[in-house]
Amino acid sequence: MILPPLDDIIGWSHRLLAEVVRPGDALVDLTAGNGHDTLALARLLEGKGQLLAFDIQEVALDATASRLAEAGLTCRRIAAAQTLESDGLFLIHDSHHHLDRYLARGLNGAIANLGYLPGGDKGLITRPETTVRALEQVLDALVPGGRLAVVVYPGHPGAEEEVAAVETLVSALPAADYDVLRMVVANRRRAPYLLTVGRRRVEIAG
């Protein structure tokens, strides 16, 4: 098994999700952006299952659609709230805190790569309130054994509030139900870091 370089936080997020995701599963990308994470998750499904990818910027969804198309994958663009029951790759032009308007299944995996769109408007960043609401919905929807990977960026203006909100959320999760792993490049200041939350499998006694 080839593991990512130690400082490749996004590579680690994909690796930790790949450990639990199987073809046929249900996945969410809360921040499609340029589509790197969406494509990585789509590949894990091998053409079976469902992936919902959200972004509030059309330009991001265009980039994601192009990246999927280049990889030979077809997707549907969704512009109005609706429960999505069928398999497929769906690119949703909406804020991720509206996830519950679309989600019809328990989630096996999810990713949230926070901050601003690389190459885009650096003032348009993910915000603490909507981020936390979206993460809470994912955590409720995770099936036992499912995982959520959050790539947190402490470096840009406005990031501190979101970092604090996400840290407060994950540190309050009951240890009986969730495990939370933090991966950080300890010798690089303000580098992005990874929080991975796993929903524990319920042990049935006796």
Ligand X SMILES: C[S@@+](CC[C@H](N)C(=O)[O-])C[C@H]1O[C@@H](n2cnc3c(N)ncnc32)[C@H](O)[C@@H]1O
Contact residues for ligand X (CB under 6 A)? 31-37, 54-57, 60, 95-96, 113, 115, 117, 124, 126, 130
DSSP, residue by residue, 61-98: HHHHHHHHHHTT---EEE-S---B-S-EEEEEES-GGG
Nearer to ligand X, 101 or 130 (CB): 130
Determine the residue type at 192: P
Nearer to ligand X, 17 or 117 (CB): 117
Determine the residue type at 172: A
Taking the complex as a whole, how short is the minimal distance between the CB of residue 115 and ligand X, in angstroms? 4
| Helical segments of the chain, H only | 9-18, 36-45, 58-70, 128-141, 159-171
Taking the complex as a whole, how short is the minimal distance between the CB of residue 32 and ligand X, in angstroms? 6
Taking the complex as a whole, how short is the minimal distance between the CB of residue 90 and ligand X, in angstroms? 14
Residue written as token pair 């996830």: 99
Measured at CB, which residue is nearest to ligand X?
33
Nearer to ligand X, 25 or 55 (CB): 55
Segment (H or E) for 193: strand 193-199
Nearer to ligand X, 52 or 197 (CB): 52
Taking the complex as a whole, how short is the minimal distance between the CB of residue 57 and ligand X, in angstroms? 4
Taking the complex as a whole, how short is the minimal distance between the CB of residue 180 and ligand X, in angstroms? 21
Nearer to ligand X, 108 or 131 (CB): 131
**Which residues are registered as beta bridge partners of 125?**
116
DSSP, residue by residue, 43-65: HHHTT-SEEEEEES-HHHHHHHH
